[in-house]
Each structure stands twice: as structure tokens, then as C-alpha cells.
Amino acid sequence: MSEQLTFPDWIAVDWGTSSLKVWAMGADGTVLAQNHSGQGTDDTAPDDFEVTLLTHIAPWLGRDHTPVIACGMVGAAHGWAQVPHRAVPCAPLGTPQTVTCRDARISMHILPGLMQERSADIMRGAETQIAGFLAQNADYDGIICLPGIHTKWAHISAGEIVSFQTFMTGELFDLLSRASMLRHSIGEGGGIDQEAFTGAIADTISRPEAVATQLFKIRAVDVLHTAQTSVSRARLSGILLGLELAAARPYWLGQPVALMGPPAVTALYDKALSAQGVAPTHHDIDTATLQGLGLAYKTLSTG
């Protein structure tokens, strides 16, 4: 945890399925301190959210009712408190919902996620990051892609999220590499072979119907020819990402694309899109998150 120099005006929280990020914030948006952990909502019992948050922010609390603005799965049914989704098309940022806290030192406010009735879809957290991106790119019309365990593709026009699509590509990679027979060929992390990666993407985009057999071939090639784990990992990653790009083609084809996500994963999406003739721009995900949460804080403080 960073050393505390002064009490924050408010605290920003991004609480997702597998991680918790908190920032002590000055009124002008300056980050005074920060603390990150892997204590995601999936690892937090229903009655433990407040205690878990306090273990991450306690040194920053020195007065009553420090506002806490949170986004992400903390507002889901299995989170701290369920905050209803808003329907697209709409501006990305909604009104924070106040949540009752036992500790009088904090006042908790959780942002709503978004839902899409037609072509059913939901998001929590990404809408706040998109709001932060648009705060710095007000006239942006195009696509924002947020790579991660559940990647989001969002169509932006006139300051609104018009539609979006979610892909479980990251989770599928994790499941197949850890819990299927492919684990014997994938290994425990490491790099990927770039040529095998781009080749697998091209093969999958051209023949998505062959994905099931191409997945098995990863293991077969390893058994017959002792493939390097970097090649096997590349093939698995490329097959799954190629399948995503094939389905998301209406989003990225002929459109400007902005990428925001973890650097290592974003780099793979950049390489995959570049191979399709797309030149995406890159934007820092934490900066966008803090911008979005900062906008919510301003509405709260002026409301």
C-alpha cells in the first residue's frame, strides 16, 4: 500500500470478479494512494464486502463519511448490493446508488451497469471506463474494445453506448488451459509463438466451423511431434480470439477501434486486429476508470 500523506476527499473503487482496486483521491482528481488485490467479488462472501473494503482503505479514513464511489461486479446480485441495470442506448454513466454501511467513516455509492434487451447482454464496470474514455474523447464515434476475462465490444455514437457485445474468450482460455486435456500441452503460463498465434487467428476466421477439431489438433500435434508450449498456447489463444473476431466483425470492420485493457492481453488484440487491417488506438484502463468514477463523484458532490 502506498504511504498515506493526507486524508482523501473521496475513494474510488473498481471491484470486479477477480480483483479489487482502490484509490484515495483528492478533490481535483489527484491519486493520493492506491491499493490493489486479487480479492474479487467471487472470493467475497455476501456479508464480508464492507469488512473487505475496510481492510484495503482503513489507513485513509480519518473523518466521518468519506464518499466511496464504486463500479463493477460489486453492484451485481452476488455483490455488496444489487444495483439495477440501465438499458442501452444511453449515456454510459448512471446515478450512483447509496448503500447502507455499518462503519460511519464511509458513505458507499455503487454505479449501475448496463443491459441490452435485444441480443441479450449485460455489463458492469466497463460502462464507467467508457465514460472516462469519452471524457477525454468527447467527439468519438466508433468502437471501444475492452479486452479481459469477458471482453466487451461497444459501439459509441453521439456520446452514447448504442450497443455492445460480450465474449467469454478469456474465461474459455483459462478453462481449457487448466481443466481440459489441453493442459498437458499448454503448461503453466509463459510466452506465445507469434507466428502460430496469427496463423491460428487466420485459420479460425476463415473456417470458424472447424474450431472443435482445431482445438483437439493442439494436443495431437504435441503428442506426435512434441510441440513447444509457446506454440500450443499460441494456437489456443489464436483459435479463441479468431472465433471472437469472426463474430465481432460488424463491430471492427471499417470502424475506428480504441483498445483499453490489461497491457499483455491488449497487445494480443492489437496484433490480431492489425492482421485484419485495423489500426487500433491504445488507452490506459486505470486512467479511464478513474475518470469515470471522478465524473460520478462530481455528480454526487453537486447533487
Distance from the first to the final alpha carbon of the chain: 32
Spatial separation of the C-alpha atoms in residues 98 and 303, rounded to whole Å: 13
Phi, psi of 172 (to 5 degrees): -65, -40
Pairing of strands 151-157, 257-260: unpaired
The pLDDT assigned to 303 comes to: 58
In the three-class reduction of DSSP (H, G, I as helix; E, B as strand; rest coil), residue 93 is classed as coil
The pLDDT assigned to 247 comes to: 97
pLDDT for 125-136, tens place per residue?
Answer: 999 999 999 999
Residue 63 predicted with pLDDT over 80: no
Do 131 and 120 touch, CB atoms closer than 8 A? Answer: no
Nearest to residue 124, comparing CAs of 200, 71, 189?
Answer: 71
Please give the C-alpha separations between residue 253 and each of 43, 180, 183, 247, 249, in angstroms, as whole numbers: 38, 33, 34, 11, 6
Q: Which domains does the chain have, with CATH numbers?
A: 10-124 (3.30.420.300), 166-283 (3.30.420.310)
Do 68 and 111 touch, CB atoms closer than 8 A? Answer: no
Residue 111 predicted with pLDDT over 90: yes
Residue 296 predicted with pLDDT over 60: yes
The string of DSSP codes covering 219-274 is HHHHHHH---HHHHHHHHHHHHHHHHHHHTHHHHTTS-EEEES-HHHHHHHHHHHH
The pLDDT assigned to 5 comes to: 53
The pLDDT assigned to 1 comes to: 44
Give the H/E segment covering residue 14.
strand 10-15
pLDDT for 215-257, tens place per residue?
Answer: 999 999 999 999 999 999 999 999 999 999 999 999 999 999 9
A 10 A CB-CB count for 83 gives 24
Spatial separation of the C-alpha atoms in residues 37 and 110, rounded to whole Å: 19
The pLDDT assigned to 301 comes to: 67
Give percent of the chain with pLDDT exceeding 90. Answer: 93
The pLDDT assigned to 209 comes to: 96
Mean pLDDT of 251-272: 97
pLDDT for 136-193, tens place per residue?
Answer: 999 999 999 999 999 999 999 999 999 999 999 999 999 999 999 999 999 887 789 9
Do 75 and 94 touch, CB atoms closer than 8 A? Answer: no
A 10 A CB-CB count for 164 gives 25
Mean pLDDT of 278-290: 97
Residue 4 predicted with pLDDT over 60: no
Residue 155 DSSP symbol: E
Phi, psi of 37 (to 5 degrees): -155, 175
Spatial separation of the C-alpha atoms in residues 30 and 19, rounded to whole Å: 22
Mean pLDDT, the chain, as a whole number?
Answer: 95
Mean pLDDT of 112-137: 97
Residue 302 predicted with pLDDT over 80: no
The pLDDT assigned to 189 comes to: 74
Residues 6+ apart with CB under 8 A from 165: 119, 121, 152, 153, 247, 248, 251
Binned at pLDDT 50, 70 and 90, residue 65 comes out as: confident
The least confident of 1-5, 34-38, 45-49, 276-280 is 1-5
